[in-house]
Structure 1
C-alpha cells in the first residue's frame, strides 16, 4: 500500500512550480489528507497538530509530535522530520516549526490551506510575526487529477467495496434461507464494515489510512428516505426498499459503491422510483466527459428526475470528487463550474427520496478519461439483479 518515491517526487515538483507561479515563499499544510498526499505520512489524528512546510527553495520539513517520530521515520516520510515533545507544551508546536525553519521573524509570503483552523492560523501568526499569510488552494488543485499509481489503488478499493455489497446481501439471504429473523440495519452495517476491514488486513501487509478503511450506511423502508441517516436498530422487513451505501479505501484512496435492493417482489411504485434513479445515474455517469463543467453534468442528471415528475424528491447533487478524502472537490453541483479533466475521480449518485415510503440511490465511483467515463465499481445495478427473494 506504499506509493513510490517517484510519486512523491512528481507531486512535490508540481507543488514547487505552483508556489513559484503564486510567488509564495512557502506553504504550510496541516490537514491529514494533505500531509499524507504530499509526504506519505499517515497518522492517528488527535489534538496534537502535524505541520508540513514546503519552501519555494525546495526545503521540506515535517513537524510531528515526538510520540509519532519513530512511526513517521518508519513510513519513509518524504520530508525532514522534526519533533516537538507535547501539546500544548511550554513552547507551542507553531514556535517549534518557526525554530526548525530559523524563520520566526522572516518577512515571507506563506500560503496555507482553507482547512487550517482559525486558532491554528492565529498561533502561526504569533510564531511568524513578520510573515504575510495567504490562503491558497494549490494543494486542492493538485489533488483534483489523480496520478496513475493512485488510480490503481482506487481500482483495488472498488473491488473490495463491491464485495462488501455482496457480503451485506449474503447476510440477509442467509437469514432468509435459514428461517431466521432478518438482521437490523445496524447488524448489516457492522457486518459489511467488518468484512471490508478484514479484507484490508488480509490483502495488505501494511495498512494506512487518514480517516477509515471501510464504512457503511444502511437504511431500509422509510428510513432509506433520509440520505445520511445513521443505521438504526430497525429490523429489515419483507417488502422493504434497502440502500447499502458503502465505502472503502486502499492507502486512503476512497471509492463509494451504493446499491438499492428490494426485499421480495417489487411493487409497481418501487419499480417506478428505482427506474427514475437508475436513469438519472446512467445519464449523469455518461455526461462525465472531459471538457464538461460539473454544473452542466449535475443539471443533466437531475433533470431526468425532474422530468419524471419527481423533482420534489431530490435531496442532493449528482456527486462529488473522491480521492484521499471520501468527499473532496470538485463538486457535481449547480454552483461548481470546474471543467472535468482526465484523471479526475467522481461519485455518480443521484437519488430519489420519498418521505414515509423509501429512498432510491445507485452510486458508482467513476474515472474521467480522454476516452470517456469508466465505472470503477461494477456491482450489478438493475432492479432485477438487486431483488432479494423471499
Structure 2
C-alpha cells in the first residue's frame, strides 16, 4: 500500500489528546509554531510576518486564526472546525487584538491557556504585543516541552511515512553517488540526483502526493559544501565545488512525504582513502555502532551521548568532537529529545531519532554517517538502509569512457 496523508481522524485525536500530555490542567491551547499547527490541524503554510495561530479547546475543538490572504488556503487544506481571519498586519487594530477578541468570544478571556510563545514570535520583521496583554485575567503557561513529547511518539501512520521517506532518500543518495567523480560539479550532481529521484518518487506515489515539508522538497541528495577540506565543517554551505581525487565527501539525503522526513548521511571518498582517512573512518563507524548498542527503551538520551563521548576520550579524539550524537525528527528536520549529555529524557518506543556522531579533522576531512532509527520495545530498528562500509563508499578516481 502506498503511504498516504495523516487522516483527519488522527489529527483530531491528537488535538484532544494533547491535554493528556500537559503537566497541569488547562482550558485551551494557543499555538503559533507552524509545525504544531500542521501536526494538530493539517494546515501546511510558510510563516511570514502575518501571525497565524491555532486555538484548541479542552473538548478538542480547533479554530485557525489566519490573515485574510490565507483564509481560502486554510479552509481548503486545513482541518480545523472553523477558520477566523483578520485583515492584515500590522493593521488597525493589531492582529494580537483580533486574537484576544477571538479568545474572549470563545469564553477564554480568563482561562488557563497553554502556549508555545506568549504571542507571535519575531518572523520576517513581525513586531507585536504579548498575547497575555490582550486578555483579561487569563493565565498563560508555556507547554512546548509537553507537546514535543507527544510529537516524539510516532504513530503507525507516521512511521509508514518516515519509512517511505527513507526509501526515497536512499534512492536519491544512490543517484548522487553514481554521478559523483573527479571533475564533476557539486551543483550539477546535486541537481541531477534530486531531479531524477523526485520525478521517480512523484510517479510512484501518484498525483495526490504532497511533500508538505518546510525543509525538504521532493527527494533530495546533497553535499551542502562538505567537500574536501570543507567536509571538516559540520554545517558548511555549498560553494559549487568541483570534485577532486582525494576529496572526503559528507552527504545528506532525505525525502518529504506528506510532511514527514528522514535523514541519511554518508562519508565517501573520491579515490582510495589515505591510511589516516581510513583510520578516522573506522573510528566513526565504531562511534555509530556504540550509539546503536546504547539505544534502548528506558535508557536516557544522555546515556547514549555519554557512551559515545567515552570512546572519544579513550582514543584521544576529543579534539575532533563537535556535536552530540543525534536528535529526534519527523515533521521537523530537528525535533526533541536530543541525544546529548544534557538531556535526561527517557527513550520510549515510537521515538524516531538520527544517529550521527562525527569526527572533524581540519585539513583532512569530516567523517560522519547519519541514520534514522526507531526505538522499539526491545532496542532499536534501523529505518535507513544504505551501505556503511569503506569499500562501498569509495568512488573511482577516474571515469572511464
Aligned partner of 2:214 among 189, 205, 211: 211
> How far, CA to CA, are the matches of 2:375 and 2:288 in structure 1?
15
Q: Is the 1:295–1:333 Cα contact (8 Å) retained in structure 2? A: yes
Deviates more, 1:240-249 or 1:100-109: 100-109
Residue 187 of structure 1 aligns with which residue?
188
Q: Is the 8 A contact 2:35 2:331 kept in 1?
A: yes
Of 121, 141, 147, the match for 1:139: 147
Query: Are 2:115 and 1:107 equivalent residues in the alignment?
Result: no
Distance in 1 of aligned mates of 2:359 and 2:332: 25
Contact kept, 8 Å, 1:321 with 1:345, in 2: the verdict is yes
Residue of structure 2 aligned with 1:345, choices 333, 352, 355 = 352
**Cα 1:268–1:235 shift into 2, 3 Å:** same
Which residue, out of 281, 285, 288, partners 1:278? 285
**Structure 2 counterpart SS, 1:278:** helix
- Kindly indicate whether the alpha-carbon contact (under 8 Å) linking 1:261 and 1:387 is maintained by their aligned counterparts in 2: yes
String of CA shifts for 1:212-251, please: whole Å, max 9, x gaps. 3346324111100000001113211101111112333212
Change in Cα spacing, 1:105 to 1:56, as seen in structure 2 (3 Å) is closer
Q: Deviation at 1:364? A: 0.1
Deviation, structure 1 residue 200: 5.1
Q: CA deviation at 1:310?
A: 1.6
Cα deviation, 1:173-196, whole Å, max 9, x if unaligned, reads 5xx6xxxx222x343344444445
**Structure 1 residues 51 and 200, CA gap change in structure 2 (3 angstroms):** farther
Q: Superposed, which structure 2 residues align to 1:1-390 within 5 Å?
A: 1-18=4-21, 22-101=24-103, 102=105, 106-114=109-117, 117=121, 122-137=129-144, 138-173=146-181, 181-183=183-185, 185-199=186-200, 201-202=202-203, 203-204=205-206, 205-214=208-217, 216=222, 217-390=224-397
Question: What RMSD in Å do the two structures reach over aligned CA positions?
Answer: 2.2
1:26 and 1:56 in contact (8 A); partners too: yes
1:39 and 1:79 in contact (8 A); partners too: no
Report if the CA contact (8 A) 1:313-1:354 is conserved: yes
Matches of 1:186 and 1:335, distance apart in 2:
38
TM-score, length-scaled by structure 2: 0.89
Residue range with higher mean Cα deviation, 193-202 or 289-298: 193-202
Separation in 1, partners of 2:127, 2:154? 29
Q: Deviations over 1:319-361 (max 9, x none)?
A: 0110211101001001000100000000000001001110000
Change (3 A) 1:79 1:208: farther
Per-residue displacement from partner, 1:259-307 (whole Å, max 9, x unpaired)?
0111111211111000000110111022111011011011112322332
- Looking at structure 2, the residues matched to 282 and 362 of structure 1 have their Cα atoms a distance apart, in angstroms, of 11
How many aligned positions are there? 382
8 Å Cα contact 2:43-2:77 kept in structure 1: yes
Q: Which runs of 5+ in 2 are unaligned?
A: none
Per-residue displacement from partner, 1:137-176 (whole Å, max 9, x unpaired)?
3311211211111011000110111112111112115xx6
1:348-387 deviations in Å (ceiling 9; x for gaps):
0000100111000010011111132111111111111101
Following superposition, the deviation at residue 114 of structure 1 comes to: 4.8
Q: CA separation in 2, counterparts of 1:211 and 1:35? A: 13
Give the TM-score of the pair, scaled to structure 1: 0.91
